[in-house]
């Protein structure tokens, strides 16, 4: 490829940033490139701008397509169509939609972005190369010691966002959780120490990239009665017909199922409260406590009488 400063308004002036224009540069299609990265091509197309060579006027579209040079990459392709040579040269950097498609989060576990627990992140749902396909966004994280992982996803703009935890072999742990029309998802999954993936996916719309989702992974310790910084005490675990909660000040207690739905709520006073859980089915639940602008999340286990 050559960089160009002939007419002064081309964005490909000095593309290799060495201070020299009008020189021949070696493009990606001529380089030995990494194969463990996710690649996307945004290809300008301006039919009729250059007689007999569709493309953006710099390169033919076939030359811009990395799949023609690295068949093993399966690069995602996104096209920007323009109506004049000047338009496509100057307008492509302003095409947020195509650029967001090109910057989409990887959809393969080996390429997943690393995320940390107790940290907030933002992700984007963008229309894929196959416009009918889900956008799969894969993230990887590590759990240093056994914990109850709580997953929160908020600001969901599509009708059904799905999420699940995947182990290092690619097998789903627990269940796939659906937002099913809700704007948030919360679920809890006990995990042992190790490396995991989080996959968030759904069918994007042409505008969903404008409304990014937020997500946080938090890791709490498993439930044996213990005092924590809020002096919250919960016992017994597992429990059968009631669970006792001790708090240093009045609080609101919610019990959620592992799909994140609130199924029981109660105001409690300072001291000891017995909470009736006899109506709950056997299983694992999340107990969430709100008090003085603080939130605590714990796991409780409901057992049946034998
Ligand atoms: Ca995405
Ligand atoms: Ca993706």
Tokens of 128: 């894929």
Mean pLDDT on 130-158: 93
CA distances from 241 to 244, 257, 265 (A): 10, 16, 16
Looking at all shown ligands, the one closest to residue 133's CA atom is: 2
Rounded distance from Cα 213 to ligand 2 centre (Å): 13
Looking at all shown ligands, the one closest to residue 136's CA atom is: 2
Distance CA 237, CA 299 (A): 9
In sequence order, which residues have a C-beta less than 8 Å from that of residue 41 and are 6 or more positions away? 64, 65, 66, 67, 75, 76, 77, 78, 102
Q: What is the pLDDT of residue 225?
A: 39
40-44, 247-251, 295-299: range with lowest mean pLDDT = 295-299
Mean pLDDT on 80-107: 83
Q: What is the pLDDT of residue 226?
A: 41
Rounded distance from Cα 5 to ligand 2 centre (Å): 35
Give the confidence band of 295 by pLDDT, cuts at 50, 70, 90.
Answer: confident
Rounded distance from Cα 209 to ligand 1 centre (Å): 8
Same fold, 109-220 and 233-302: no
Distance CA 163, CA 218 (A): 15
Tokens of 28: 């990606």
Rounded distance from Cα 209 to ligand 2 centre (Å): 11
Give the confidence band of 141 by pLDDT, cuts at 50, 70, 90.
Answer: very high
By DSSP bridging, strand 213-220 and strand 76-81 are unpaired
* Beta bridge partner(s), residue 190: 148
Rounded distance from Cα 11 to ligand 2 centre (Å): 28
Among the ranges 36-50, 58-72, 144-158, which has the highest mean pLDDT value? 144-158
109-220: CATH topology: Jelly Rolls (2.60.120)
Q: What is the pLDDT of residue 224?
A: 37
Rounded distance from Cα 76 to ligand 1 centre (Å): 13
C-beta of residue 302 within 8 angstroms of C-beta of residue 239 = yes
Give the confidence band of 4 by pLDDT, cuts at 50, 70, 90.
Answer: low
Those residues whose beta carbon sits under 5 angstroms from the ion ligand 1 are: 104-105, 124, 135, 137
Give the confidence band of 16 by pLDDT, cuts at 50, 70, 90.
Answer: confident
Mean pLDDT on 204-208: 95
Give the confidence band of 109 by pLDDT, cuts at 50, 70, 90.
Answer: very high
What backbone torsions phi and psi does residue 35 show, to the nearest 5 degrees?
-105, 0
% pLDDT > 90, the chain: 37
233-302: CATH topology: Immunoglobulin-like (2.60.40)
Tokens of 180: 């099913």
By DSSP bridging, strand 120-123 and strand 113-114 are unpaired
24-28, 224-228, 255-259: range with lowest mean pLDDT = 224-228
Q: What is the pLDDT of residue 44?
A: 85
Looking at all shown ligands, the one closest to residue 213's CA atom is: 1
Those residues whose beta carbon sits under 5 angstroms from the ion ligand 2 are: 104-105, 107, 135, 137
Reported as a single tens digit per residue, the pLDDT across 111-121 is: 999 999 888 99
Ordered by start, the domain boundaries in the chain are 28-102, 109-220, 233-302
CA distances from 40 to 64, 154, 167, 210 (A): 11, 27, 27, 20
* pTM for this model (two decimals): 0.66
* Beta bridge partner(s), residue 143: 194
CA distances from 11 to 15, 84, 97, 101 (A): 8, 15, 18, 20
Q: What angle do CA 172, 181, 185 make, to 5 degrees?
A: 45
* Beta bridge partner(s), residue 55: 60
In sequence order, which residues have a C-beta less than 8 Å from that of residue 5 and are 6 or more positions away? 13, 14, 21, 22
Rounded distance from Cα 9 to ligand 2 centre (Å): 33
Mean pLDDT on 248-267: 84
């Amino acid at each position: 490829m050559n960089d160009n400063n002939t007419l002064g308004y081309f964005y490909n002036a000095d593309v290799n940033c060495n201070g020299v224009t009008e020189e021949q540069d070696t493009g990606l299609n001529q380089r030995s490139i990494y194969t463990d990265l996710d690649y996307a091509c945004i290809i300008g197309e301006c039919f009729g701008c250059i007689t007999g060579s569709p493309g953006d006027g710099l390169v033919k579209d076939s030359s811009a397509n990395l799949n023609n040079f690295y068949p093993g990459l399966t690069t995602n392709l996104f096209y920007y169509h323009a109506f004049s040579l000047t338009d496509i040269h100057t307008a492509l950097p302003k095409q947020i939609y195509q650029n967001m498609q090109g910057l989409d989060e990887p959809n393969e576990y080996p390429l997943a972005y690393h995320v940390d627990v107790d940290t907030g992140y933002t992700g984007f749902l963008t229309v894929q190369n196959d416009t009918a396909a889900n956008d799969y966004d894969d993230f990887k994280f590590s759990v240093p010691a056994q914990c109850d992982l709580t997953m929160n996803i908020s600001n969901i703009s599509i009708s059904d966002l799905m999420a699940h935890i995947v182990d290092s072999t690619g097998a789903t742990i627990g269940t796939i959780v659906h937002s099913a029309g809700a704007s948030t998802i919360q679920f809890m999954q006990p995990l042992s120490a190790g490396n995991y993936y989080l996959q968030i996916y759904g069918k994007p719309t042409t505008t969903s990239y404008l409304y990014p989702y937020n997500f946080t992974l938090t890791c709490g310790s498993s439930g044996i009665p213990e005092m924590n910084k809020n002096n919250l005490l919960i016992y017994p675990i597992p429990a059968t017909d009631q669970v006792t909660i001790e708090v240093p000040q009045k609080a609101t207690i919610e019990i959620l199922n592992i799909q994140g739905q609130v199924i029981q709520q109660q105001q409690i006073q300072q001291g000891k409260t017995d909470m009736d859980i006899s109506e709950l089915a056997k299983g694992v639940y999340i107990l969430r406590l709100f008090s003085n602008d603080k939130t605590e999340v714990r796991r409780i286990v409901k057992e049946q009488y034998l």
